[in-house]
Amino acid sequence: MSVYLLRRLIQAGGVVLAMSIIVFIGVFAIGDPVEILISPDADQMERERAVAALGLDKPLWHQYLIFLGKAAQGDLGRSFVFNEPALELILQRMPATLELAFAATFGAILIGLPLGLYAGLRPNSVGSKAIMAGSILGFSLPTFWVGLMLIMVFAVQLGWLPSTGRGDTVEVLGTRWSFLTWNGLQHLAMPALNLALFKISLVIRLTRAGVRETMLMDYVKFARAKGLSPFRVTFVHVFKNILIPVVTVTGLEFGSTIAFSVVTESIFAWPGMGKLIIDSINVLDRPVIVAYLMIVVLMFITINLIVDLMYSVLDPRVRLESK
Under the rule (CB under 8 A), what is the footprint of another protein?
217-229, 232, 236-237, 240-241, 244, 314-317
Burial of residue 63 (CB within 10 Å: 0-12, 13-18, 19+) is middle
Measured from the CB of residue 219, what is the shortest distance to another protein in angstroms?
A: 4
Q: Considering the complex, state which of residue 53 and residue 313 has its C-beta at the smaller distance from another protein.
A: 313
Residue 251: how many CB atoms within 10 A of its CB?
A: 17
Measured from the CB of residue 224, what is the shortest distance to another protein in angstroms?
A: 6
- 241 in Cβ contact with 212 (< 8 Å): no
Measured from the CB of residue 253, what is the shortest distance to another protein in angstroms?
A: 22
3-state secondary structure of 187: helix
Q: Considering the complex, state which of residue 244 and residue 283 has its C-beta at the smaller distance from another protein.
A: 244
If we measure between CA atoms, which residue out of 197, 8, 166, 235 comes closest to residue 104?
197
Measured from the CB of residue 235, what is the shortest distance to another protein in angstroms?
A: 12
Q: Considering the complex, state which of residue 317 and residue 323 has its C-beta at the smaller distance from another protein.
A: 317
Measured from the CB of residue 159, what is the shortest distance to another protein in angstroms?
A: 48
Measured from the CB of residue 218, what is the shortest distance to another protein in angstroms?
A: 4
- 147 in Cβ contact with 264 (< 8 Å): yes
Dihedral of the alpha carbons of 316, 317, 322, 323, in degrees to the nearest 10: 160
Q: Considering the complex, state which of residue 237 and residue 286 has its C-beta at the smaller distance from another protein.
A: 237
Q: Considering the complex, state which of residue 111 and residue 215 has its C-beta at the smaller distance from another protein.
A: 215
Q: Considering the complex, state which of residue 180 and residue 215 has its C-beta at the smaller distance from another protein.
A: 215
Residue 284: how many CB atoms within 10 A of its CB?
A: 19
- 195 in Cβ contact with 264 (< 8 Å): yes
Single-letter residue type at 185: L
> Which H or E run contains 270?
none
